[in-house]
Amino acid sequence: MDEKSASASGDRAKNRTPSPQGEALRALVVEDDAIIREDMVQCLRRAGVMVIPAGDGKEALGLFLEHFPDLVVTDIRMPHMDGLELVRRIRELSDEVCVVLISAFTDNETLLASINLGVNGFMPKPVARQELIDLSQRCSLAGKGERTLLRKVLDNNPDLFLTTDGERILYVNRPFLDFLGIQSISGMDAMALVASRISPAEGYEGDNWIAALASDDSAADHLMALAPPVGGEGERAFLVRVSRLPVEDTLFSIISFIDVTSIQEERDFYLDLALKDPLTGLGNRKRLMDELEKEIWRAERYAKDLSLIMFDIDDFKRVNDTWGHQEGDHVLREMARIVREDMRRVDLVTRYGGEEFCCLLPETDLRSACCLAEKLRRIVATHDYGKPGRLTASFGVAQHFPGESSDDLIARADQALYAAKRSGKDRVEPAPDPSDLEELSAAGSMPPPLLPVADADEDDAADLDPSRRGN
């Protein structure tokens, strides 16, 4: 068990409270001799104790994590994992559970090791039945309520908890049962049940996502979205923490799901504010730059087209000077609204600054982007903006080329925009290829005026339809 897991489990153990009166004691009896084990099991059951039998230390540790017993009675010499190693691992989880060693021999080395591990008592073999019963009663009166305390602590904790060995879910707490919409996992294939009722939003798809999560070292402090069963609330965000307890070739895990939905929603709210232009409701320049970097990565990774439109309202200063800044703000909001209405869901429209806007168009080549820009130019020019009346805008369009940075792509679109301004405004200009600019620069020549896109006729309707761009 790693240091962090042991510390977390130890903290929980220190805050345990006694079992309530009247609740049956649970005892884990660990003995590799089947006859001796059965004799102890029957003796304790007749005394009203709920007994969990185990044939060796490895099996016992798994049962401990599943049942959280109040009392552990274990032999010392056993295959796979001896009694002292079992006690050591149990003590890493809790100082409160009552542990008793049984053995046909006792040497000083074993005695010293047992004392260091905090063993509560010894019983010689053959085990006297009445002594075993008296021991269980003393344990109950002493309030060693490991099972009760663990379950009550976990059941009253709003977080979701489960324990698993990677193949089975051994235990889930009450909030997790409520989240699943069931009363108990008893008699069920809990691993399959959880996988069928809850779907992680991303990262751990498939029917065995709990096992994948338990074995993934990177899963600690991992943010995960879970969709509850049908009929439940919407998708919720959880901070997932995994504590692991390796036992030979088996990895036991305690997985907690801490509901951070409200924190995530608040974070998303402020993040949205940071990336949104407050006047138009469009994304701002930071949002454009963030998304542009992602789309460039996608375009180069999957060999997809990507284009950018930049447009600027012509003579916008005259609107502010003539009608005032409130009318200017109205124009900007209207411009944002009419342009956004004609875009695909995957497209991004942002306010770049002042009266300048950008449209980021994934999976769109230069010709399709220019056709869309021409359509937007017509929409802008025919719209009534109120007191200012009719207005126009100039458009520059650039397609991303492999290896081109976001700044270079924006610079080419911006250059095309101002070429449209210089050529008379109210027009669309495509940007030259980066290779053309490099050749002209090397030759010491200024770029020639860019030719406008010809007016689109009715035959171009398919190209102007945003739902068909990039197909």
Residues tagged active-site: 355
For the beta carbon of residue 9, count every other beta carbon within 10 angstroms.
17
Q: Calculate ∠ Cα 345-347-352, nearest 5°.
A: 130
Report d(CA 456, CA 439) in Å as an integer: 31
Report d(CA 102, CA 413) in Å as an integer: 82
Looking at residue 310, its amino acid is: M
Spell out the residues 6+ positions from residue 210 whose beta carbon is closer than 8 angstroms to its own.
Answer: 162, 164, 169, 191, 194, 195, 255
- Count Cβ neighbours within 10 Å for each residue of 123-150 and write b for 16 or more, e otherwise: beeebeeeebbebbeebbeebbbbbbbb
Cis, peptide link before residue 126, omega less than 30° from 0: yes
Report d(CA 328, CA 337) in Å as an integer: 14
**Both structure tokens of 74:** 């274990």
Report d(CA 388, CA 319) in Å as an integer: 6
Helix (H) or strand (E) holding 227: strand 222-227
Strands, E, within 381-441: which ranges? 393-399, 428-430
Report d(CA 168, CA 21) in Å as an integer: 32
User: Rounded to whole angstroms, what are the CA distances from 215 to 191, 251, 405?
Assistant: 14, 8, 39
First-last CA distance in the chain = 54
Strand, helix or coil for residue 182: coil
